[in-house]
């Protein structure tokens, strides 16, 4: 069983590709959060030497720890002998390991063949996947010139509102095959997409094909239950986020559509309550 940390720091500090050594907060750039990065640990002074004839092979055990939100996790462990000697040792740090926003820390502990322990300095890290909108908003091809979809289809090939609302997701240069697109939709009792809300925030997820990534696609939003709550000068907002390796890499602006299902002289809106 490993001895508890005694506060003695003797091992050299580790480095992480993309993280500035001059940044005390250790902010990890978005590129590394998306694609993963590499932890670099220099060869330690007490690295095992080749044994003399008849002597047992000496070893060092390296354990790498990730601490976040009060949880300390062992994310790497390996035993090294003289056969593994090299100037530097690299360990991958995956997007999944860096998936939670907030502060974290990372350090390693060496266990020597003689039972002694060397602890490295603790490196503080900042993880932030926040991204500003940069992609074109979802487009509503069946809305009229004033941004409304109502009971009478504005274009001959538009579906009736009581069946569905269509959204166009235009192709973007950042799209790649197998990216995950998560579309969000929510209805509001105003014409400008502001509260009070009429629906929960709904999410729809799809994995992009090569054709969709290159050409964009149409998303069909079923009337019930997603549009039905909006009927009289109400609105809906649609936006999406692109994920790669389960990490958000880009976000769209909000797309707004106005909805009016009232029928002159009728108590019930088209499509019903």
Specify the pTM: 0.74
For 115-131, write each residue's pLDDT tens digit: 889 999 999 999 999 99
Please give, one letter per residue, the 3-state secondary structure of the chain.
Answer: CCCCCCCCECCCCCEECCCCCCCCCCECCHHHHHHCEEEEEECCCCCCCCCCCCCCCCCEEEEEEEEECCEEEEEEEEEECHHHCCCEEEEEECCHHHCCCEEEEEEEEEEECCCCEEECCCEEEEECCCCCEEECCCECCCCCCCCEEECCCCCCCCCCCCCEEEEEECCCCCCCCCCEEEEEEEEECCCCCCCCECCCCEEEEEECCHHHHHHCEEEEEEHHHHCCCCCCCEEEEEEEEEEECCEEEEEECCEEEEEECCCCCCCCCCCCC
Residue segments in the chain with a per-residue pLDDT below the cut of 70: 1-9
For 160-207, write each residue's pLDDT tens digit: 999 999 999 999 999 999 999 999 999 999 999 999 999 999 999 999
pLDDT at 246: 86
pLDDT at 8: 56
């Amino acid at each position: 069983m490993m001895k508890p940390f005694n506060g003695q720091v003797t091992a050299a500090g580790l480095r992480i590709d993309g993280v500035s050594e001059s940044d005390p907060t250790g902010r990890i750039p978005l590129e590394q959060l998306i694609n993963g990065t590499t932890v670099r640990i220099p060869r330690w002074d007490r690295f095992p030497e080749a044994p003399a004839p008849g002597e047992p092979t000496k070893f060092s055990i390296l354990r790498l720890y990730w601490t976040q939100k009060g949880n300390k996790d062992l994310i790497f462990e390996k035993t090294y002998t003289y056969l593994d000697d090299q100037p530097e040792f690299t360990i991958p740090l995956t997007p999944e390991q860096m998936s939670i926003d907030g502060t974290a820390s990372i350090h390693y502990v060496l266990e020597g063949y003689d039972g002694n322990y060397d602890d490295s300095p603790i490196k503080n890290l900042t993880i932030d996947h926040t991204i500003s909108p940069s992609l074109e908003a979802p487009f509503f091809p069946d809305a009229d010139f004033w941004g409304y979809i109502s009971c009478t289809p504005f274009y001959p090939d538009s579906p009736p509102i009581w069946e569905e609302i269509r959204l166009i997701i235009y192709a973007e240069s950042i799209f790649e095959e197998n990216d995950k697109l998560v579309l969000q939709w929510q209805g509001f009792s105003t014409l400008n997409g502001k509260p009070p809300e009429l629906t929960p925030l709904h999410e729809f997820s799809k994995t992009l094909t090569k054709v969709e990534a290159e050409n964009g696609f149409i998303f069909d939003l079923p009337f019930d239950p997603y549009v039905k709550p909006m009927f009289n000068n109400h609105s809906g907002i649609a936006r999406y986020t692109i994920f790669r390796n389960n990490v958000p890499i880009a976000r769209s602006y909000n797309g707004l559509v106005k909805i009016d299902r009232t029928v002159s002289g009728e108590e019930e809106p088209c499509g019903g309550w």
